[in-house]
Amino acid sequence: MTDVMGKRGFDELLADRRGLLDAPHYRRQVEAIADAVVAALRDRKKVLWCGNGGSAAEAQHMAAELSGRFLRERPGLHSEALSVNSSALTCIGNDYGYERVFSRQVEAFAHPGDVVIGMTTSGTSRNVVLALEAAKKCGAVTVAFTGNGGGPVAEVADLTLMGPDGYAAIVQEVHQVMAHIVCDLVEQRLIFEDGIG
């Protein structure tokens, strides 16, 4: 069979992931993000997600885990992705430029105490940076899922989940695993501590 992965084999890739998941700094980052999301939802606030390309898909995926359910039966939680309304994206992109497609929606929807989560593997996606800047102006808590050293988005965010350096696909995989852990922690705390189930 042709080695389609080049010089890196499955064992090395799996070892990378095991090492990342065991890293103590991920535990601290994930717990801090879960704390912020739980605090917002306990206060009847919402969680807004944004990202581009694969990160847009991750943002939609994670918004659905909270608004629908992740692992447990419980009431739906107010969680939305800002990439799903094609009319808003094309209207804002046309009128204000693609850099504003998320920040304009944050201006419209975010309130003090909400959580706005931007996902970008490079940390340099200008529209995600502007979204978090707009969120800070309105008093929302800002979270960045990033990688490759963090980039400008890490400088704007109140909380950062720092993925590894390297290919976008690897960073996205780490983001997905860590965001799923956030969803799990949120559900556990709201159900077992607050009894919302």
Q: Would you tell me how many other CB atoms lie within 10 Å of the CB of residue 93?
A: 15
The string of pLDDT tens digits covering residues 18-36 is 666 667 788 899 999 999 9
Q: What pLDDT is recorded for position 27?
A: 86
The string of pLDDT tens digits covering residues 99-156 is 999 999 999 999 999 999 999 999 999 999 999 999 999 999 999 999 999 999 999 9
Mean pLDDT of 152-169: 94
Mean pLDDT of 66-94: 96
The string of pLDDT tens digits covering residues 85-102 is 999 999 999 999 999 999
Query: Per CATH, the architecture of 32-192 is what?
Result: 3-Layer(aba) Sandwich (3.40)
Q: What pLDDT is recorded for position 114?
A: 98
Q: What pLDDT is recorded for position 2?
A: 42
Which conformational region is residue 56 in: left (phi greater than 0), alpha (psi within -120 to 50 degrees), or beta?
Answer: alpha
pTM of the model: 0.90
Q: What pLDDT is recorded for position 21?
A: 61
Q: What pLDDT is recorded for position 1?
A: 38
